[in-house]
């Protein structure tokens, strides 16, 4: 979710009839667009892109954009017939681009996604076709402050369901510390952070008003009412909630793999546990991360060559270095094993990723933004006290249904 700014996706924007400029056969220079401007020409990612071009027998020219800008630029380029040959794009956007005719399905460009974990690959599935391959994933878990929990007499290993977590928060508060911080802001970040609790209750995005969904929102509301979570969560982004946790006053923070390096700089001992489901087990958390895709071109030879480059970028032999640089858990199980062997603390994150779900999965595709927006609105309404959780989610379901 670190790069999951979905401004254009939330608007439900799609285009049709998208091809690159005409060419006579495959060109000698292929363009690769990605959302990694932080990686310069000398980075491992840039070298990987160059190597994959060389292996395909072509020169590759890479352009990087901020994620928020990338989707808009791709849509415009597709309309102008200048789409890149290979596109690395945030996973919830894949279905929008596919439905708009911007992307070729894997079956038509020879791109094999069979090594990727099915739950991660689902974000690229639409109407029986798969578009692209996940390069890796991040997701959410609960960071905890070891000293705060120890002072409250809480064993993090005993937190296996919602009741155990709420009991732990009560003990922390009684010990004079703060409970849990998270992001409930009225944007996609708020939905992203609510989804583990929503899905962990057994709820489905096709029925926002279910009793299971109400139980999840009631849980969050109860934490605010009892002082286990601060009112600031209503406006917190994932960054500001992390800053609260970094003060050392909080027992828990819901956040992602991208905070691992920051966690090591807090000055206190921390640990990580999976977000528990309502009655136990690991709650499905949403996946962040990008897919490597092949946009529509004017000739088959160009698309096939682009498919070769995309396959190289996501191959088990190439992807470990990129996933390490991106602080991603690999989408490939064998590479995940290598990651845990090199850094055992990633084991919790690998388990979380393997239990995670794509936000646009279950064939929601471009329907997801029309569900997510009323869902974050319901969270805001309930946490501010404007509506009860039940009324807020009932209204959200009506809004989502009307937007079909």
Closest by Cα among 88, 192, 95, 87 to 138:
192
Kindly tell me the burial class for residue 64, based on how many C-beta atoms sit within 10 Å of its own C-beta (0-12, 13-18, 19 or more): middle
The answer for 232, left when phi > 0, alpha when psi is -120 to 50, beta otherwise, is: alpha
pLDDT at 1 (0 to 100)? 52
CB 35 within 8 A of CB 3: yes
- Give the Cα separation of 139 and 125 in Å (integer): 19
Beta bridge partners of 292: 88, 133
Phi, psi for residue 71 in degrees, rounded to 5: -60, -45
pLDDT at 12 (0 to 100)? 41
E strands present in 94-164 = 125-126, 129-130, 133-134, 140-145
DSSP string covering 60-90: EEEEE--HHHHHHHHHHHHHTT---SEEEEE
Residues of the chain with pLDDT under 50: 2-24
pLDDT at 205 (0 to 100)? 96
378: its two tokens: 């319901």
Tally of residues, the chain: 404
- What is the SS3 assignment for 242? helix
pLDDT at 366 (0 to 100)? 85
H or E segment and range at residue 291: strand 290-293
288: number of CA atoms within 13 Å, CB side? 28
Q: Return the sign of the alpha-carbon dihedral for residues 180, 186, 189, 190.
A: positive
- Give, as one character, the DSSP assignment of residue 388: -
pLDDT at 404 (0 to 100)? 67
H or E segment and range at residue 270: strand 270-273
- Give the Cα separation of 208 and 399 in Å (integer): 10
Sheet bearing 59-64, strands edge to edge: 59-64, 29-34, 86-90, 290-293, 133-134
Strands 86-90 and 29-34: parallel
- Give the Cα separation of 380 and 378 in Å (integer): 5
- Give, as one character, the DSSP assignment of residue 344: G
- Give the Cα separation of 32 and 171 in Å (integer): 52
- From residue 265, alpha-carbon distances to 2, 177, 180, 259 in Å are 19, 21, 19, 10
CB 284 within 8 A of CB 200: yes
Residues 6+ apart with CB under 8 A from 392: 217, 377, 378, 379, 381, 382, 386
H or E segment and range at residue 393: helix 389-402
pLDDT at 25 (0 to 100)? 57
CB 200 within 8 A of CB 216: yes
pLDDT at 28 (0 to 100)? 86
In this structure, the number of other CB atoms found within 10 A of the CB of residue 404 comes to 7
Whole-prediction pTM value? 0.86
The interaxial angle of helices 316-326 and 333-342, nearest 10 deg, is 50
- What is the SS3 assignment for 252? strand
């Amino acid at each position: 979710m670190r790069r999951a700014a979905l401004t254009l996706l939330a608007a439900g924007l799609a285009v049709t009839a998208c091809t690159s400029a005409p060419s006579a056969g495959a060109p000698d220079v292929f363009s690769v667009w990605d959302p990694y401007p932080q990686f310069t020409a000398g980075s491992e990612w840039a070298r990987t892109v160059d190597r994959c071009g060389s292996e395909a027998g072509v020169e590759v020219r890479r352009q990087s954009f901020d994620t928020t800008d990338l989707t808009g630029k791709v849509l415009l380029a597709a309309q102008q017939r200048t789409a890149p040959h290979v596109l690395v794009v945030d996973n919830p956007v894949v279905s929008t681009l596919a439905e708009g005719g911007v992307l070729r399905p894997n079956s038509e460009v020879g791109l094999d996604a069979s090594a990727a974990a099915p739950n991660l690959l689902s974000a690229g599935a639409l109407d029986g076709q798969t578009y692209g391959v996940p390069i890796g994933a991040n997701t959410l878990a609960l960071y905890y402050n070891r000293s705060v929990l120890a002072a409250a007499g809480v064993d993090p290993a005993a937190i296996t369901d919602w009741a155990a977590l709420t009991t732990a928060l009560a003990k922390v508060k009684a010990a004079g510390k703060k409970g849990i911080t998270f992001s409930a802001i009225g944007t996609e970040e708020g939905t992203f952070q609510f989804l583990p609790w929503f899905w962990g209750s057994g709820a489905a995005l096709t029925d926002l008003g279910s009793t299971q969904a109400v139980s999840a929102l009631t849980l969050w509301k109860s934490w605010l009412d009892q002082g286990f979570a601060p009112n600031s969560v209503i406006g917190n982004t994932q960054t500001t909630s992390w800053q609260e946790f970094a003060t050392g006053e909080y027992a828990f923070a819901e956040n992602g793999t991208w905070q691992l390096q920051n966690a090591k700089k807090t000055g206190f001992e921390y640990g990580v546990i999976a977000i528990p489901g309502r009655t136990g087990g690991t709650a499905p958390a949403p996946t962040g991360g990008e897919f490597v895709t092949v946009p529509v071109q004017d000739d088959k030879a160009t698309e096939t060559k682009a498919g070769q480059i995309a396959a190289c970028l996501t191959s088990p032999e190439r992807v470990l270095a990129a996933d390490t640089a991106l602080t991603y858990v690999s989408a490939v199980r064998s590479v995940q094993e290598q990651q845990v062997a090199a850094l055992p603390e990633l084991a919790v994150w690998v388990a979380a990723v393997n239990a995670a779900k794509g936000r646009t999965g279950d064939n929601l595709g471009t329907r997801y933004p029309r569900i997510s927006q009323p869902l974050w609105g319901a969270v805001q309404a309930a946490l501010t006290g404007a509506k009860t959780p039940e009324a807020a989610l009932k209204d959200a379901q009506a809004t989502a249904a009307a937007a079909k």
